[in-house]
Amino acid sequence: MSMLPAFSFRSLLTGVMLAGAVVAQSAQADVPKDLADHLVVNGQSMPVRAVEASPLPGLYEVQLEGGQTLYSDREGKYLLVGDLYRNDSGQMVNLTEQKQQQHRVALLKQIPDEDMVIFRPAGEVKTVINVFTDTTCPYCRKFHEEVPELNKRGVEVRYLAFPRAGMNGEGARELGQVWCNDNRSEALTAAMKGKKLKGTASCDTPIESQFALGKQMAIQGTPALILPDGRMIPGYVPVDRLVGMLGLEN
């Protein structure tokens, strides 16, 4: 449900200039503890995950459970929807995206290796990417075809589950079969090729928790690639372009 109107980049900059110069601050002592209680739209409380001070005095960063970020005054009466930028010596720095990247990295660090399906290079691991996937997704299948080439170039691929149609869809059932398999990597590859998997999908899996994690990161489709610095790349990216984005030589 769309709760708030779109907010343009130009309007955001105008609001920032009218409010005054952006200054860095880290102290959280002045954050109003009851701000989340005031954030009610159409009679419904916003799903607030956290409230923090923003770099702009008098403006507070509100992080929602769905991964979105907005900004509010201390009473929750005025809201800004969009990214907050800092003009750093003529370069526009997206402070909102920086914070989201840090949040993604922190969340992924909490996922143990045994809850993922990992494809490791035979040689040196130069970098690691995390990929939210769905075996029923055509572009996930296209991406998976290129995982061997990524491995050759030193990229470790760590898969997490994100059934696009929800936990009652075919994707969730297939992903459950993959995670319940004794050899997950072989099962995932087979499923990506359209082969029917045998075996149960009813063992104890992290599919639902990873689906919730993806939604918390504001993932809306698959594949969704999370780079080591927390940048999120939605959709399929060819190997050469992805390797370049990772800072590796082609």
Q: Can you list the positions of beta strands (E) in the chain? A: 40-41, 44-45, 48-53, 60-64, 69-72, 79-81, 85-88, 91-94, 117-119, 127-133, 155-161, 224-226, 232-234
Count the neighbouring beta carbons within 10 Å of the beta carbon of residue 14.
Answer: 11
Distance CA 162, CA 179 (A): 12
Distance of CA 159 to the CA centre of its chain: 13
Name the nearest CA neighbour of 68 among 53, 55, 49, 92: 49
Residues in the chain: 250
Tokens representing residue 208 in the block:
């639902």
Instruction: Please list the active-site residues.
Output: 134, 137, 140, 164
Distance CA 194, CA 108 (A): 28
Q: Write phi, then psi, for 177 (nearest 5 degrees).
A: -65, -40
- Say if CB 149 and CB 241 are below 8 A apart: no
Name the nearest CA neighbour of 215 among 76, 102, 83, 47: 47
- Say if CB 51 and CB 74 are below 8 A apart: no
